[in-house]
Amino acid sequence: AAPLKDTKLMDVKLGQLPSWLAMSDFTPGGIARAVRRGYDRYFNKYIDVKKGGVGGIAMVLAGYVVISYIWSYDHIKHDRHRKYH
């Protein structure tokens, strides 16, 4: 078996999760490397392909729509209650 530090999150058992998280690198450099690995994995799987479709771009746009709605939700909620009063 591979050491717990080299195990991917999807392969970690629920009982091992606290110790796996304790071994993770939460420094700014470690977080930046994790974001970069995630971006590289996404880019290689959905963007940099021979026969690409709109799936990768559509996911980015859907994520942008959801995040922008979450960021403006308080303003939308405030307008909703104020509209007819």
Q: Quick check: 46 and 62 in contact, CB under 8 A?
A: no
Tell me if 67 is assigned to some domain. yes
Tell me if 60 is assigned to some domain. yes
Q: Rounded to whole angstroms, how far apart are CA atoms 19 and 37?
A: 22
| 80, amino acid identity | R
Tell me if 84 is assigned to some domain. no
pLDDT (tens digit per residue) in 31-73: 999 899 988 988 888 777 777 678 778 888 999 999 998 888 7
Whether 83 shows a pLDDT value over 60: the answer reads no
Tell me if 59 is assigned to some domain. yes
Q: Quick check: 4 and 20 in contact, CB under 8 A?
A: yes
* Model confidence, pTM: 0.53
**What's the domain count of the chain?**
1
Q: Chain-wide mean pLDDT for the chain?
A: 82
| Domain boundaries, position 55 | 9-79
What does the pLDDT read at residue 3?
A: 78
Tell me if 85 is assigned to some domain. no
Helices (H) and strands (E) in the chain, counts: 4, 0
Tell me if 40 is assigned to some domain. yes
What does the pLDDT read at residue 7?
A: 82
